[in-house]
Amino acid sequence: MEMDRPDGRSPNQLRPLACSRSVLHRAHGSATWAQGETKVLAAVYGPKAGTKKNENPEKASIEIIWKPNTGHIGQADREHEMILKKTFESICIRTIYPNTTTSIVVQVVHDDGALLPCAINAACAALVDAGIPLRHLAVAICCSVTDNNCIILDPSKQEEEKAKAFAYLVFPNTTVSVVPEKSLQAGSDPMAHGIITSVTHGAMSVDDYLHCLERGRATTQRLSEFLRKNMEPKSTREASKAG
Amino acid sequence: MSVPNATEDLSSEVEVDAFRRLFPVRYFERHLSESIRPDGRPLKEARDTSIFLGSVASANGSALVKIGSTTMLTAIKLEVMTPSLETPDEGCLAIDFHMPAICSPIVRPGRPAEAEPVVSKQLSDTISSSGMIDLKELSLVSGKAAWMAYLDIYCLDADGALFDTALLSAVAALSHVKIPAVAMNDDGKIVLMSDEDGKKQANEQVNKEKRKLTLKSIPLSLTCILHKSYILADPTAEEESIIETHVTIVLDTHGQLVSLYKPGGPVLAYTSAIQDCVALTRQRVKELKSFLDEANSAMEVE
């Protein structure tokens, strides 16, 4: 089904991605992530000593501070904080530094659709920049279902508002490892097919949701490659320029 | 983690309560291997649900819902207001979820619980996404007067599955709410019609009699927790604190997926797990719809 998107993209095409690491000098790790016009800046401070009152002192705790681009902090921001906290708690290896707190500050620079996935990608890049031990990386994507039941990826704000429903999905990064494929599987699905987080908006049929999952999975390969390329240390690139 | 052998030896000597507090995951897993949960329920069964409509007499609509021990009280108050310029013939619905200190020892007065803004936002998103309420029904006089419905949900006892109970109680209250009869008086203001009807001829009747809202498709939900390869439906607070992966699925009565909410968690959800959870939710939605219909018909008889 041909789908005319206002910016001329095909249904499966993502907006141009841009990621820069170590943008802030005082933070232990930082990154900006831009998907088209949506841009988010994430900074990581930690691990710092001590945990908050209700947290388990036997594990490292993750604290998220979400800063919207305009206005006071409202319910939506608290919800985003909780979603990010739970997502990153499952990614970070929390048994390594017990009784510490790692703070991730997420600042929304510009919101043009797919804000939560952009923030998750930025925070993940910032965690890598800070050197926090992670079990695996996370890639996040937004899929939306339009009125004529077409599934489009990475919608802009306009497309999100017109869509019947949309889903933010977070998948674990496809791992590149020396371990044989079989050991990474759980049952019949490879590890990269499970979702870490899913937040949906609007009503869609269950089949539409399952199609969104499939499309999302197929795209995580591209996002993972982009993320890994960005993770390469800057020094090797500079060394190759010198040499 | 202690060596497995040491715990096995300890478990035969340590008292059950102590074992439950010290090794909650192992206590739980011992039950799971027998396909049962600490409170005796089978894995896929939800707790007993009861709905009481009209518990708050002074409100326009109210419902008290209990799922197991989790109790939520919803009250709806309607107030007349001027609609906004962008939507002159639509009313407004404001949903607020409160967790007062009575509901749980973790919640202290003065400091809102962590779950509060999250459940509140989830509820407003779900009710607006499902398209259950047509805001045009809340309009009185286009451009001049419309109803503002304040939906307040109070958690009286927090024992797991907060979102499910809150959604059910909001939906039950909305199905019970009666819009009062009002008339517009000479000053152009909307006043409540009293039973006397003395000045009826002078007033323009805007809303002749008490009417209920038409609900298009009712969203109902089920929260499941995932642990290794087990899926458990309707967790209690103790289970929610041990197992960190929760999935909340909201389906409406037409079978559409209104929300699939999985906020992180160590267990990844594969397609098979999602399909199992959706099937459990479908069953539960049928059950809940029948409870709701029963409660509504009981009210009408009165």
Residues 6+ apart with CB under 8 A from B108: B101
Query: Is the alpha carbon torsion for B41, B43, B48, B54 positive or negative?
Result: positive
What is the reported pLDDT for A100? 92
Predicted pLDDT at B82: 86
In tens, the pLDDT along A121-135 reads 999 999 999 999 998
Average pLDDT rounded to a whole number, residues A54-58: 83
Stretch among A62-71, A229-238, B208-217 having the lowest mean pLDDT: A229-238
CA distance A73 to B117: 11
Q: How far is A82 from chain B, CA to nearest CA, in Å?
A: 8
Taking an 8 Å cut-off on Cβ atoms, the answer to whether B266 and A213 are in contact is no
* Predicted TM-score of the model (pTM): 0.87
> How many angstroms separate the CA of residue B108 from the nearest CA in chain A?
12
Inter-chain CB proximity A206 and B257 less than 8 Å: yes
Task: Collect all residues of chain A within an 8 Å Cβ-Cβ radius of residue B261.
Answer: 198-200
State the nearest Cα–Cα gap between B50 and chain A, in angstroms.
Answer: 27
Tokens 């038409």 belong to residue: B214
What ipTM was assigned to the predicted interfaces of this complex?
0.84
Phi/psi at B28 (nearest 5 deg)? -65, -45
Q: What is the pLDDT of residue B282?
A: 92
Q: Could you tell me the pLDDT band of residue A189, with boundaries at 50, 70 and 90? A: low
Q: Are strands B211-212 and B230-233 parallel, antiparallel or unpaired?
A: unpaired
Among the ranges given (A8-22, A111-125, A164-178, B88-102), the one the predictor scored with the smallest mean pLDDT: A164-178
- Among the partner-chain residues A82, A90, A197, the one whose CB lies closest to the CB of B118 is A82
Do A78 and B121 contact (CB within 8 A), yes or no?
A: yes
Nearest by CB to residue B265, choosing from A90, A205, A208, is: A90
| Cβ partners under 8 Å of residue A86, min gap 6 | A197, B244, B263, B264, B265
Q: Does residue B96 surpass a pLDDT of 50? A: yes
Per-residue pLDDT tens over the stretch B249-277:
999 888 889 999 998 888 888 888 999 99
Please give the pLDDT value at position B152: 94
Query: Residue B85 has what pLDDT?
Result: 85
pLDDT given at position B266: 85
Whether the per-residue pLDDT at A32 is higher than 60: the answer is yes
A184 vs B91, higher pLDDT = B91
Cα–Cα distance between B296 and B300 in angstroms, integer? 6
In this predicted model, what pLDDT tens digit does every residue of B151-201 receive, in sequence order?
A: 999 999 999 899 999 999 999 999 998 888 877 777 767 777 654 443 444
